Structure 1
C-alpha cells in the first residue's frame, strides 16, 4: 500500500492508502464531499525506526547548529599497559 496525498480547497490535505498505481487524479474529500486534487509529494523514506530517524536528524542539525563545548574532553592515556605474560616482557619496546 502506498500513501497518496489529496488537497481539498476547503479542508486542506488528506491522505489515502491505496495499492500502488491505483490512485486517481481526483477523489472526494472525506469531510465535505468536494473534489480533492492529488498532490505529488516526495517518497517517505524517513519512516524508519525511531533510532535511525534521530540519528539522521542529529546529523543534519549539526551541519547548521554544531554543539558548543566549554572545554576539551579528557586526554587519552599514552601509557601502554604491560602484559602479565613474562615471555612478552623480553620483546623490544618502541
Structure 2
C-alpha cells in the first residue's frame, strides 16, 4: 500500500499515512492543529526494500563512494595457469 504525505497551511510536521491508490484522499485532518492538510506530491519510495537484490544493489552502490582499500600488495610470484589443450589458447599473448 502506498504511503502518502500531507502538510497543512500552518506548516506543522508532515503527516504520512497509507492508503490504497483508489482510496487516497486529497486532504486529511492535521493531528497537531486540526486544519485540513493537503496531499503533497513526492517521489516514489523505490529504494525501500529488504530483499536480497536490494541489499546487493546497496552494497555495490556503496563501493562507488567508499571503495575497499588494500593494506598491502599481493604476494609476488603469482603465476598464471595456461591451458594447452585448446589450440586457440596457444595464440594468446603470454603474461
Verify same fold: TM over 0.5: yes
Instruction: Give the structure-2-normalised TM-score.
Output: 0.60
Number of equivalences: 82
> How far off is 1:7 after superposition?
1.7
Q: Distance in 1 between matches of 2:27 and 2:13?
A: 14
Q: Distance in 2 between matches of 1:73 and 1:36?
A: 61
Compute the RMSD of aligned alpha carbons. 2.9
> How far off is 1:2 after superposition?
2.0
Q: Aligned residue for 1:41?
A: 42
Instruction: Give the structure-1-normalised TM-score.
Output: 0.61
The answer for unaligned runs of 5 or more in structure 1 is 81-92
Q: What is the 5 A alignment of 1:1-94?
A: 1-8=1-8, 9-49=10-50, 51-73=52-74, 78=80, 94=84
